Amino acid sequence: MFTPQPIGFVSSPFKDTKSIPKGIGAQHPEEGELRILPEFEAGLTDIEGYSHLIVLWAFDRSDGFDLMVTPPTDSRAHGLFTTRSPRRPNPIALTVVELLGRDGGSLRVRGIDMLDGTPILDIKPYLSNVPAEKLRRGWLGEAEARKG
């Protein structure tokens, strides 16, 4: 096992979880910053060439978990690992954001769904080789169709 250490922190317009859009059709047009600690800034070299980034971060204000959860997108309970619930055995999250620009160790991004001050664990360039027509949305697609 390892003990993750933050490489930086999120600057976000969201101060509490209630203000983050959730549910079917939720959009995340908000902009924010990924502020990388100075000792990790060299790791951002050449990042400007990517349009989107995968951000791994910690649900640092969440504790405990349930294996069956009812997400805001459906009235039915689903297995925890088929949802994006913040209450998890390992409170790790993933968000894909659009990179808008870089200023030193600060990355300006769109698509923020994290709380202000959230610890960033890692950043990776978004690269997908899965064609859109091959992707399936599981129970979420079914819930979206029901709410139509």
Q: 54 lies in which domain range?
A: 8-147
Grouping H, G, I as helix, E, B as strand and the rest as coil, residue 20 is coil
Q: What is the mean pLDDT of residues 33-53?
A: 96
Residue 31: inside a domain: yes
Instruction: Report how far apart, in Å, the C-alpha atoms of 138 and of each of 22, 34, 89, 113 are.
Output: 18, 31, 22, 22
Q: Is the pLDDT of residue 136 over 90?
A: no
Q: Which comes out higher in pLDDT, residue 146 or 47? A: 47
User: If you average pLDDT over every residue of the chain, what do you get?
Assistant: 90
Total number of domains in the chain: 1
Residue 68's CATH number: 2.40.30.70
What number of helices (H) and strands (E) belong to the chain? 1, 8
Mean pLDDT over residues 104-115, rounded?
95
pLDDT of residue 121: 98
